[in-house]
A and B are shown apart, each in its own frame.
Chain A
Amino acid sequence: MFPVRCFSCGAVIGHLYEEYKKKLEEGKTPKEALDELGIERYCCRRMFLTYKSVIKEFARFHGAVG
């Protein structure tokens, strides 16, 4: 799941994730999307850029593990 807060500075970023995902679907680059959302610091920016949903991987084995 997407982190609620930035690991380094503690700023709340969880509420921006859905918007970020939508902007990427519209064809914007991650840089444009992050700039529009007003995320300045590189610690918060890497939270978005390096995120990978593991829960989706789990879901592939749904039923086999509970």
Chain B
Amino acid sequence: MKIEILEESDLKVKFILREAPIALANSFRRAMKSLVPTMAVDYVDFYMNTSFLYDEIIAHRIGLIPIKTDLERFNLPEKCSCGGEGCPNCQVSFRLNVEGPKVVYSGDLISDDPEIRPVYDNIPIIELYEGQQLMIEAVARLGTGKEHAKFQPVTVCFYKIIPEIVVKDNCDKCGKCVEVCVRNVLKKENDKIEVGNVLACSMCMECVKNCEENAIEVLETNDYLFTVEGTGALPVKTVMRKALEILRDKAKEMNEIIQTLI
């Protein structure tokens, strides 16, 4: 198993996973999506809400705001020494006390912990008009994507197989496969059919269907092109590393269970 990073920016990473069984590629994707913990607001106390929106809508909107997470410092509530009751090692609370007329942004949330704060400061939460007041306390905790999509550290996370396109010797160079290729993977150069950018191939098999000589083949390989986009709560590379760690721990646990059975 090898990882080759193609593109990397703050929120988006594209990489190739080589020589891995498809089950592993899929479990890697699922681990990134649903097993890596991140922080999100999960509980909101409303002391005063005279705005136009219901308490539930505001709570939901606050829950969706990504929060910068420090995995070293915080525990999952069920694994915390407090037993899930809530302590500084598994919770951070945010306060908000505003009066209209004003647009309330995510940056207006005052955190107990100066390091744990919303990733973006300019997400509008609610618009308050003259005489309206909002007084709340929001409690953020760690959670996994399994529980609720707001805890997912990644938004878009998918892979596709990088195929191997083989043009056999009985090719009559009619060029039909080049014409039907919607993603312009195939090229006709020097009276020969050549493969251009394989990464763009979606394995639609149009070239195979349209070849009268049956001279082209699209084969599955053990290489995958991953595209991962993060929410900003955790750097994408940390998410990848953490997902692999979690997978390793799970495999170890499984191994131990099997050991006891034999």
Contacts and interface: CB of A to CB of B under 8 A. Distances in A.
A58 B130 CA distance: 13
Contacts of A62: 129-130
B155 A9 contact: yes
Interface residues of B, number: 26
Nearest to A17: B124
Interface in B37-96: 50, 52-53, 61, 64-66
B122 interface: yes
Given A12-B232, A15-B120, A55 B156 contact: no
Contact of A14 (B50, B124, B129, B152): B124
Contact of A15 (B53, B61, B123, B126): B123
A12 B53 contact: no
Nearest to A53: B127
Tell me if B's interface is mostly helix, strand, loop or mixed: loop
B174 interface: no
Q: What range describes how many residues of A lie at the interface?
A: 20 to 34
Interface of A: 1-2, 4-6, 9-12, 14-15, 17-18, 41, 55-56, 58-59, 62, 66
Interface of B: 50, 52-53, 61, 64-66, 106, 119-127, 129-130, 149, 152, 155-156, 229, 231-232
26 contacts: A1-B126, A2-B124, A4-B61, A4-B64, A5-B64, A6-B155, A9-B155, A10-B149, A10-B152, A10-B155, A11-B229, A12-B119, A12-B123, A14-B65, A15-B106, A15-B121, A15-B123, A18-B122, A18-B124, A41-B156, A55-B127, A56-B127, A58-B52, A59-B52, A62-B129, A62-B130
